[in-house]
């Protein structure tokens, strides 16, 4: 049922669960203009749980669902539909009665250390890549599941259904056990050419194939919210449920010569393609082909993004209070450029650690023959500059592998508000940068719902609506190109990057 409120206004609920917080927002369309209103926010984050001889890192999904229901019950207006998106790679297991077996592991839990190399030795890097097109990262679902096989996990033996994180919340809302395409592709065992799970990989690793549900496309209407939940009458739509897929829907591009950076805890740097780019060169540089809306693909690379700043902030106080992110940007803006260089994707930066981020950065600099930064503002500046250097490297490799020229970079997500990083991206990549909207994931989530219900005809029109509904900021390179190129070459030498063999 399509609900139009007063003057042709339709309203949809976007539920966006991230690594730091969950957000419930109302997205309204009226007279070809979008309006976003955040109505509820709650903290997410992992919880540490002692199991045996180590402390595990889990997601408290029962509390997340309780918060979702609280937010939905507090809505003060009628809505047409609701959609849920989350981060990728993490999953839940249900028993034969549909009961959650245990709280899901967090992708930063250390149980996957070394597992990726074990799987590569067993199956071969090219075999895995040609069947999935997905980059090799230790956190991938494939290695999380195989760690359960290696541990002879009882959970895996009694599992009846495997659901990715947004699929779990859709199941609790509707009772439907389905896996949405964009989130399924993040597992590294979905075959984009066969449009189904890659059962050959799963069989070879003794992962039970009986547990994997039907894969559905983004925009599938799952049905009404379960009446036992005693909330309002609305449709649940399997939106582009990987948060990056939703963010890319909201990229306000009007040409095809663009790259995007979905900037947040992670930076997802890539282009939109009609078919997956699976080649030896793409494998050499460890690029990924994740699903997008309308059975497109996001040819991209994950870069560890503002996670580094989030970790650095934990040790940065003004008096007795933590600094704000805007204060970090301001402090970094006053630091001299191009003094220190790091690889944002260095393994010790990725996992949660007892070591403060400042110590990890200092150790990295010493290991690479550099004098460590002397204070936190210098470390923040180093992070921002090194992120922009990594963006340039990724975009150059995208052009090399795909044959597509990138003229414009669209930065969306929370990081699009970071004016220093945006300007550094323009300077270092030597390209036009358009920043915004900052709530791209929330907007894209709702756009898929609107298209599914026939309110917007297609994604092209949706992007035109987005471009005129939200303020966009343009950044151009201003610094001397020779200085930038010299610094870029120095960065590449220090981190020893040309091709990656991760």
What does the pLDDT profile of the chain (502 residues) look like in tens digits?
Answer: 333 333 457 899 999 999 889 999 999 999 899 999 999 999 999 999 999 899 999 999 999 999 999 999 999 788 999 999 999 999 999 999 999 999 999 999 999 999 999 999 999 999 999 999 999 999 999 999 999 999 999 999 999 999 999 999 999 999 999 999 999 999 999 999 999 999 999 999 999 999 999 999 999 999 999 988 876 789 999 999 999 999 999 999 988 899 999 999 899 999 999 999 999 999 999 999 999 999 999 999 999 999 999 999 999 999 999 999 999 999 999 999 999 999 999 989 987 788 999 999 999 999 999 999 999 999 999 999 999 999 999 999 999 999 999 999 999 999 999 999 999 999 999 999 999 999 999 999 999 999 999 999 999 999 999 999 999 999 999 999 999 999 999 999 999 986 444 4
Question: Residues with catalytic annotation?
Answer: 243
Q: Is 1 within the bounds of a domain?
A: no
* Domain boundary, last residue among 238, 258, 283: 238
411 & 335 share domain: no
Residues 124 and 232 in one domain: yes
Cα-to-chain-centroid distance, residue 277: 20
Residue 152 lies in a domain: yes
Q: Contact at 8 Å (CB) between 310 and 317? A: no
Range of 458's domain?
A: 243-306+387-493
Residues 378 and 283 in one domain: no
Instruction: Tell me, yes or no, whether 153 and 70 share the same domain.
Output: yes
CB 263 within 8 A of CB 250: no
Q: Tell me: do 66 and 148 sit in the same domain.
A: yes
Q: Residue 394 domain-assigned?
A: yes
Same domain, 423 and 393: yes
Among the three residues 336, 369, 385, which one is the final residue of a domain in this structure? 385
377 and 230 housed in the same domain: no
Residues 401 and 457 in one domain: yes
Same-domain status, 248 and 156: no
Residues 106 and 171 both lie in one domain: yes
Predicted local distance difference test score (pLDDT) of residue 1: 34
Count: domains in the chain: 3
Domain membership flag for residue 502: no
348, part of any domain: yes
Residues 267 and 219 in one domain: no
C-beta contacts of 417-424 below 8 A and 24+ residues apart: 418/263, 418/306, 418/325, 418/329, 418/384, 419/329, 419/473, 420/329, 420/332, 420/333, 420/384, 421/263, 421/329, 421/384, 421/387, 421/388, 422/473, 422/475, 423/475, 424/384, 424/385, 424/387, 424/388
> Which domain CATH number covers 174?
3.30.420.40
Identify whether 498 is part of a domain: no
Taking the complete model, does pTM exceed 0.85, yes or no?
Answer: yes
Within a domain: 47? yes
In a domain, 405, yes or no: yes
410 with 489, same domain? yes
The residue out of 329, 355, 385 marking a domain boundary is 385
């Amino acid at each position: 049922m399509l609900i139009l409120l007063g003057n042709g206004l339709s309203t949809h609920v976007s539920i966006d669960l991230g690594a730091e917080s969950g957000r419930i927002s109302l997205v309204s369309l009226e007279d070809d203009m979008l309006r976003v209103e955040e109505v509820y926010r709650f903290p997410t984050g992992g919880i540490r749980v002692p199991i045996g001889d180590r402390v595990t890192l889990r997601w408290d999904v029962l509390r997340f669902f309780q918060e979702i229901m609280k937010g939905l019950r507090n809505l003060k207006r009628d809505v047409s539909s609701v959609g849920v998106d989350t981060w990728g790679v993490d999953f839940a297991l249900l028993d034969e009665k549909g009961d959650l077996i245990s709280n899901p592991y967090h992708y930063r839990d250390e149980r996957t250390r070394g597992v990726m190399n074990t799987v590569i030795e067993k199956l071969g890097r090219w075999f895995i890549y040609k069947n999935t097109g997905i980059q090799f990262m230790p956190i991938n679902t494939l290695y999380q599941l195989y760690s359960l096989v290696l541990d002879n996990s009882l959970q895996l033996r009694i599992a009846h259904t495997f659901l990715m994180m947004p699929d779990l919340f859709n199941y609790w809302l509707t009772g439907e056990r389905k896996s949405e395409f964009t989130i399924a592709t993040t597992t590294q065992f979905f075959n984009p050419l066969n449009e189904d799970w890659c059962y050959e990989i799963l069989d070879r690793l003794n992962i039970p194939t009986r547990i994997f549900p039907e894969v559905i496309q983004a925009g599938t209407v799952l049905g009404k919210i379960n009446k036992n939940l005693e909330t309002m009458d609305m449709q649940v739509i399997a939106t582009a449920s990987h948060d990056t897929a939703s963010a890319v829907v909201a990229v306000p591009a009007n040409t095809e010569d663009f790259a995007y950076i979905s900037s947040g805890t992670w930076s997802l740097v890539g282009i939109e393609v009609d078919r997956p780019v699976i080649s030896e060169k793409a494998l050499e540089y460890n690029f990924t082909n994740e699903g997008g809306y309308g059975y497109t693909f996001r040819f991209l690379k994950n870069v560890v993004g503002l996670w580094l700043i989030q970790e650095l902030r934990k040790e940065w106080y003004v008096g007795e209070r933590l600094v704000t992110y805007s204060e970090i940007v301001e402090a970094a803006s006053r630091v001299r450029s191009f003094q220190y260089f790091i690889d944002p994707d260095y393994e010790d930066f990725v996992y949660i650690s007892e070591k403060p981020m400042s110590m990890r950065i200092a150790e990295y600099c010493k290991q690479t023959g550099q004098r460590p930064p002397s204070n936190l503002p210098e470390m923040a500046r180093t992070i921002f500059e090194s992120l922009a250097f990594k963006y340039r490297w990724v975009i150059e490799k995208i052009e090399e592998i795909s044959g597509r020229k990138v003229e414009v970079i669209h930065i969306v997500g929370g990081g699009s508000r970071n004016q220093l990083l945006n300007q550094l991206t323009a300077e270092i990549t030597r390209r036009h940068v358009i920043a915004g909207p900052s709530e791209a994931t929330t907007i894209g989530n709702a756009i898929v719902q609107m298209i599914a219900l026939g309110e917007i005809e297609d994604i092209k029109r949706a992007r035109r609506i987005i471009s005129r509904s939200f303020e966009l900021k343009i950044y151009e390179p201003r610094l001397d190109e020779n200085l930038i190129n010299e610094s870029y070459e120095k960065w590449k030498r220090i981190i020893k990057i040309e091709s990656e063999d991760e």
